[in-house]
Amino acid sequence: MPKIILSGKGGSGKSTLTSLLSQTLAAEGKRTLVVDTDESNRTLDKMLNMSSAEMGLLDYLGGREEFKANMGKDSKNLSSNNRITLDMLPEKIVSWKGNLGLLSVGKIQQVSEGCACPMGATARKFLNQLTVTEDEWVIVDTEAGVEHFGRGLLEGADKVVMVIEPSNESVTLAERIKEFAEEKDKPFVVVLNKIGDKQEKILTEKLEDKGIRIGGILKQSEGIALNNLMGETIDSSEFTETVNEILRTLV
């Protein structure tokens, strides 16, 4: 099944939607890998009620120094034939809880460490090499904005989902990301998040005028807001019907 990129502006709810989708899929018996490509967010494991793996993908492949040494060359691979399956992922870099897996590409660890370009390049290559079966899903939680598109992450994805909060900035960003997706011939859909009734009408009209497809609407939720504030697992039960609607759209 699909390898899906989740994008959006900072604070829009990308990680929240990642949690809702992945937990629902796993509960339905779908083997689901969440790939964390956000080098700054350190809360996704808590939202999923999971433990982080021993190390990130970049560190497993030798870290920044190995990356620099192999620039322009074929760097160390997870497989000899450049094809990766979920079963091939070592325990050091992926933690599993039932059908749900979590893999982090890497995090910024210290001051003056340098840009996140090595992580972006590693994520792009990994997603390109990763092959999934009909009953497997991959959900990629990205950093805010569009830098990951500039790094070529879109190449290995099947679809792009953008989370939109009620702001004009989100709508403007959706137009740009739609252009990126169309440039690579990837299906693009948006999910509205933290939405009130008046906001829903305005946003729906704005997006329809721009030819942007809406795959689902998540209403403003005090429960999820409290989950996020307390650093607790996201409770997906409140949005079961909506999440299933979004998943049907993605299928």
pLDDT in tens, 192-250: 999 998 899 999 999 999 999 999 999 998 888 888 888 888 887 888 999 999 999 99
Structural domain for 97, as ranges:
3-250
CB 104 within 8 A of CB 53: yes
Summarize the confidence of residues 11-29 as an average pLDDT. 93
The strand pairing partners of 183, in sequence order, are none
Output phi, psi for 141, to 5 deg: -90, 115
Summarize the confidence of residues 85-107 as an average pLDDT. 93
What CATH number has the domain bearing residue 21? Answer: 3.40.50.300
Number of domains in the chain: 1
Provide the token pair at 246: 């979004």
H helix or E strand, kind and range, residue 68: helix 63-69
Give the whole-angstrom CA distance, residue 204 versus residue 5. Answer: 22
The strand pairing partners of 161, in sequence order, are 6, 189
| Model pLDDT, residue 108 | 56
Task: Tell me the whole-structure pTM to 2 decimals.
Answer: 0.89
Which residues fall within 8 angstroms of residue 82, CB to CB, at 6 or more apart? 129
Output phi, psi for 215, to 5 deg: -95, -10
pLDDT in tens, 109-122: 545 445 557 777 88
Provide the token pair at 76: 């160390």
